[in-house]
Protein backbone atom coordinates (compact mmCIF):
# COMPACT_ATOMS: atom_id res chain seq x y z
CA UNK A 1 0.00 0.00 0.00
CA UNK A 2 1.45 3.41 -0.94
CA UNK A 3 2.11 5.95 1.77
CA UNK A 4 1.30 9.58 1.10
CA UNK A 5 3.69 12.02 2.78
CA UNK A 6 2.39 15.17 4.41
CA UNK A 7 3.66 18.20 2.54
CA UNK A 8 5.73 18.64 -0.57
CA UNK A 9 8.79 20.49 -1.86
CA UNK A 10 7.53 24.03 -2.54
CA UNK A 11 10.72 25.01 -4.38
CA UNK A 12 10.20 22.14 -6.78
CA UNK A 13 6.55 23.09 -7.14
CA UNK A 14 7.50 26.72 -7.85
CA UNK A 15 9.95 25.69 -10.56
CA UNK A 16 7.51 23.26 -12.13
CA UNK A 17 4.67 25.78 -12.37
CA UNK A 18 6.97 28.46 -13.77
CA UNK A 19 8.00 26.07 -16.53
CA UNK A 20 4.46 24.99 -17.34
CA UNK A 21 2.55 28.28 -17.31
CA UNK A 22 4.08 31.62 -18.26
CA UNK A 23 1.07 33.64 -17.20
CA UNK A 24 1.05 32.08 -13.78
CA UNK A 25 4.85 32.34 -13.60
CA UNK A 26 4.69 36.12 -14.07
CA UNK A 27 2.35 36.43 -11.11
CA UNK A 28 4.37 33.98 -9.00
CA UNK A 29 7.55 36.00 -9.47
CA UNK A 30 5.62 39.19 -8.70
CA UNK A 31 4.15 37.76 -5.48
CA UNK A 32 7.23 35.81 -4.40
CA UNK A 33 7.59 32.24 -3.07
CA UNK A 34 4.87 30.87 -0.81
CA UNK A 35 6.47 28.84 1.99
CA UNK A 36 5.41 25.40 3.13
CA UNK A 37 2.44 25.41 5.50
CA UNK A 38 3.39 24.82 9.15
CA UNK A 39 0.36 22.57 9.75
CA UNK A 40 1.65 20.00 7.26
CA UNK A 41 3.81 18.35 9.89
CA UNK A 42 1.61 18.99 12.94
CA UNK A 43 -0.52 16.17 14.33
CA UNK A 44 -4.27 16.71 14.32
CA UNK A 45 -7.45 14.85 15.13
CA UNK A 46 -9.65 14.40 12.01
CA UNK A 47 -12.90 14.09 13.99
CA UNK A 48 -12.21 17.20 16.04
CA UNK A 49 -11.11 19.07 12.91
CA UNK A 50 -14.33 18.17 11.11
CA UNK A 51 -16.45 19.21 14.10
CA UNK A 52 -14.74 22.58 14.17
CA UNK A 53 -15.13 22.94 10.41
CA UNK A 54 -18.87 22.43 10.84
CA UNK A 55 -19.07 25.06 13.58
CA UNK A 56 -17.05 27.60 11.59
CA UNK A 57 -19.14 27.35 8.42
CA UNK A 58 -20.74 30.60 7.21
CA UNK A 59 -19.57 32.58 10.24
CA UNK A 60 -16.83 35.11 10.84
CA UNK A 61 -13.82 33.71 12.63
CA UNK A 62 -14.61 35.70 15.79
CA UNK A 63 -18.24 34.61 15.97
CA UNK A 64 -17.35 30.97 15.35
CA UNK A 65 -14.57 31.04 17.95
CA UNK A 66 -17.06 32.34 20.52
CA UNK A 67 -19.46 29.48 19.81
CA UNK A 68 -16.69 26.88 19.90
CA UNK A 69 -15.52 28.22 23.28
CA UNK A 70 -19.07 27.92 24.63
CA UNK A 71 -19.36 24.35 23.37
CA UNK A 72 -16.02 23.42 24.93
CA UNK A 73 -17.14 24.89 28.24
CA UNK A 74 -20.46 23.03 28.08
CA UNK A 75 -18.89 19.63 27.39
CA UNK A 76 -15.91 20.26 29.67
CA UNK A 77 -13.38 19.40 26.99
CA UNK A 78 -11.47 20.91 24.09
CA UNK A 79 -11.86 17.62 22.21
CA UNK A 80 -15.00 17.56 20.06
CA UNK A 81 -15.85 13.88 19.70
CA UNK A 82 -18.86 11.60 20.00
CA UNK A 83 -18.18 10.87 23.66
CA UNK A 84 -17.69 14.49 24.72
CA UNK A 85 -20.53 15.92 22.63
CA UNK A 86 -22.80 13.26 24.12
CA UNK A 87 -22.33 14.87 27.54
CA UNK A 88 -24.85 17.58 26.68
CA UNK A 89 -28.29 17.52 25.09
CA UNK A 90 -29.39 19.32 21.95
CA UNK A 91 -30.92 22.20 23.90
CA UNK A 92 -27.60 22.91 25.58
CA UNK A 93 -25.75 23.00 22.26
CA UNK A 94 -28.42 25.27 20.80
CA UNK A 95 -27.94 27.52 23.80
CA UNK A 96 -24.24 27.76 22.90
CA UNK A 97 -25.25 29.29 19.58
CA UNK A 98 -25.10 26.14 17.44
CA UNK A 99 -27.69 26.37 14.67
CA UNK A 100 -30.22 23.60 14.07
CA UNK A 101 -28.48 22.45 10.87
CA UNK A 102 -25.06 22.41 12.52
CA UNK A 103 -26.44 20.50 15.47
CA UNK A 104 -27.73 17.81 13.11
CA UNK A 105 -24.33 17.77 11.40
CA UNK A 106 -22.48 17.32 14.70
CA UNK A 107 -24.74 14.46 15.70
CA UNK A 108 -24.26 12.82 12.31
CA UNK A 109 -20.49 13.23 12.64
CA UNK A 110 -20.70 11.49 16.02
CA UNK A 111 -22.66 8.62 14.49
CA UNK A 112 -20.07 8.18 11.76
CA UNK A 113 -17.29 8.21 14.36
CA UNK A 114 -19.03 5.59 16.46
CA UNK A 115 -19.48 3.43 13.36
CA UNK A 116 -15.75 3.63 12.64
CA UNK A 117 -16.42 5.40 9.34
CA UNK A 118 -13.98 8.28 9.87
CA UNK A 119 -10.40 7.33 9.00
CA UNK A 120 -7.69 8.17 11.50
CA UNK A 121 -4.74 10.33 10.58
CA UNK A 122 -2.60 7.20 10.35
CA UNK A 123 -5.09 5.52 8.02
CA UNK A 124 -5.32 8.63 5.83
CA UNK A 125 -1.60 8.31 5.17
CA UNK A 126 -2.41 5.24 3.11
CA UNK A 127 -5.41 6.73 1.28
CA UNK A 128 -5.37 8.77 -1.89
CA UNK A 129 -7.24 12.08 -2.13
CA UNK A 130 -10.32 10.58 -3.79
CA UNK A 131 -10.65 7.90 -1.11
CA UNK A 132 -10.50 10.47 1.71
CA UNK A 133 -13.12 12.63 -0.01
CA UNK A 134 -15.37 9.61 -0.55
CA UNK A 135 -15.06 8.62 3.12
CA UNK A 136 -15.94 12.04 4.52
CA UNK A 137 -18.50 13.69 2.24
CA UNK A 138 -21.34 11.36 3.37
CA UNK A 139 -21.23 13.16 6.73
CA UNK A 140 -23.94 15.80 6.97
CA UNK A 141 -22.47 19.29 6.69
CA UNK A 142 -19.16 18.07 5.23
CA UNK A 143 -18.90 18.90 1.55
CA UNK A 144 -16.13 18.31 -0.93
CA UNK A 145 -14.67 21.79 -0.34
CA UNK A 146 -14.27 21.15 3.40
CA UNK A 147 -12.37 17.94 2.73
CA UNK A 148 -10.24 19.62 0.08
CA UNK A 149 -9.19 22.24 2.62
CA UNK A 150 -8.13 19.45 4.98
CA UNK A 151 -6.18 17.79 2.18
CA UNK A 152 -4.37 21.00 1.26
CA UNK A 153 -3.75 22.69 4.60
CA UNK A 154 -3.61 19.79 7.06
CA UNK A 155 -2.38 16.81 5.06
CA UNK A 156 -0.25 18.79 2.62
CA UNK A 157 -1.45 16.95 -0.46
CA UNK A 158 0.21 18.55 -3.50
CA UNK A 159 -2.35 18.07 -6.27
CA UNK A 160 -5.72 19.40 -5.08
CA UNK A 161 -7.63 22.06 -7.03
CA UNK A 162 -10.92 23.13 -5.38
CA UNK A 163 -12.82 23.98 -8.55
CA UNK A 164 -15.89 25.31 -6.69
CA UNK A 165 -13.90 27.81 -4.63
CA UNK A 166 -14.87 31.38 -5.51
CA UNK A 167 -11.43 32.81 -4.74
CA UNK A 168 -9.68 30.34 -7.01
CA UNK A 169 -12.16 30.96 -9.82
CA UNK A 170 -11.59 34.70 -9.39
CA UNK A 171 -7.84 34.13 -9.51
CA UNK A 172 -8.12 32.34 -12.84
CA UNK A 173 -10.38 35.08 -14.17
CA UNK A 174 -7.67 37.63 -13.37
CA UNK A 175 -4.85 35.39 -14.55
CA UNK A 176 -6.39 34.83 -17.99
CA UNK A 177 -8.18 38.17 -18.33
CA UNK A 178 -11.59 36.51 -18.61
CA UNK A 179 -14.79 38.59 -18.79
CA UNK A 180 -16.54 36.29 -16.29
CA UNK A 181 -15.69 33.67 -13.71
CA UNK A 182 -14.75 30.32 -15.25
CA UNK A 183 -16.99 27.35 -14.60
CA UNK A 184 -15.80 24.53 -12.38
CA UNK A 185 -15.34 22.36 -15.47
CA UNK A 186 -13.35 25.03 -17.29
CA UNK A 187 -11.19 25.53 -14.20
CA UNK A 188 -10.50 21.80 -13.96
CA UNK A 189 -9.41 21.74 -17.60
CA UNK A 190 -7.30 24.87 -17.14
CA UNK A 191 -5.55 23.30 -14.17
CA UNK A 192 -4.54 20.06 -15.84
CA UNK A 193 -1.21 21.57 -16.85
CA UNK A 194 -0.40 22.44 -13.23
CA UNK A 195 -0.40 18.80 -12.11
CA UNK A 196 1.10 17.38 -9.97
CA UNK A 197 1.24 20.66 -8.01
CA UNK A 198 -2.28 22.02 -8.35
CA UNK A 199 -2.42 22.76 -4.62
CA UNK A 200 0.50 25.14 -4.94
CA UNK A 201 -1.11 26.76 -7.98
CA UNK A 202 -4.26 27.21 -5.89
CA UNK A 203 -2.30 29.02 -3.19
CA UNK A 204 -1.20 31.52 -5.84
CA UNK A 205 -4.66 31.88 -7.35
CA UNK A 206 -5.99 32.96 -3.95
CA UNK A 207 -3.15 35.48 -3.72
CA UNK A 208 -3.82 36.72 -7.26
CA UNK A 209 -7.50 37.28 -6.47
CA UNK A 210 -6.55 39.22 -3.32
CA UNK A 211 -3.95 41.27 -5.17
CA UNK A 212 -6.37 42.13 -7.97
CA UNK A 213 -8.81 43.47 -5.40
CA UNK A 214 -6.17 45.88 -4.14
CA UNK A 215 -5.64 48.97 -6.35
CA UNK A 216 -2.09 49.22 -5.01
CA UNK A 217 -1.10 45.90 -6.61
CA UNK A 218 -0.73 46.13 -10.41
CA UNK A 219 -0.81 43.03 -12.57
CA UNK A 220 2.61 41.83 -13.72
CA UNK A 221 3.70 42.93 -17.16
CA UNK A 222 4.08 40.00 -19.53
CA UNK A 223 6.08 39.99 -22.75
CA UNK A 224 3.99 39.58 -25.88
CA UNK A 225 5.18 36.03 -26.44
CA UNK A 226 3.88 35.05 -23.01
CA UNK A 227 0.25 35.71 -23.83
CA UNK A 228 -0.47 32.02 -24.22
CA UNK A 229 -0.90 29.71 -21.28
CA UNK A 230 2.35 27.91 -21.79
Residue 183 to residues 164, 187, 197, Cα–Cα distance (Å): 8, 6, 21
78-82 contacts: CB < 8 A, separation 24 or more? Answer: 79/45, 79/48, 80/47, 80/48, 80/51, 80/52, 80/106, 81/45, 81/47, 81/48, 81/51, 81/110, 81/113, 82/47, 82/109, 82/110, 82/111, 82/113, 82/114
83 a catalytic residue: no
Which is catalytic among the residues 21, 129, 159, 165? 165
- Backbone φ, ψ for residue 170 (5° rounding): -65, -40
Residue 227 to residues 18, 147, 175, 176, Cα–Cα distance (Å): 14, 34, 11, 9
Q: What is the DSSP letter of 6?
A: S
- Cβ contact 177:27 at 8 Å: no
- By annotation, the residues acting in catalysis are 165
Amino acid sequence: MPRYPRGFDVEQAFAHLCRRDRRLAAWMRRLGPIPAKPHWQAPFDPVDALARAILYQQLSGKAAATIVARVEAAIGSDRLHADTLARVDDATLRGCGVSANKLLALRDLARHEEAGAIPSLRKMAGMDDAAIIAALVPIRGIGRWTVEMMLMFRLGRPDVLPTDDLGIRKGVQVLDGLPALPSARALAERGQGWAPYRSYAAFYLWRIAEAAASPATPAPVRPARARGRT
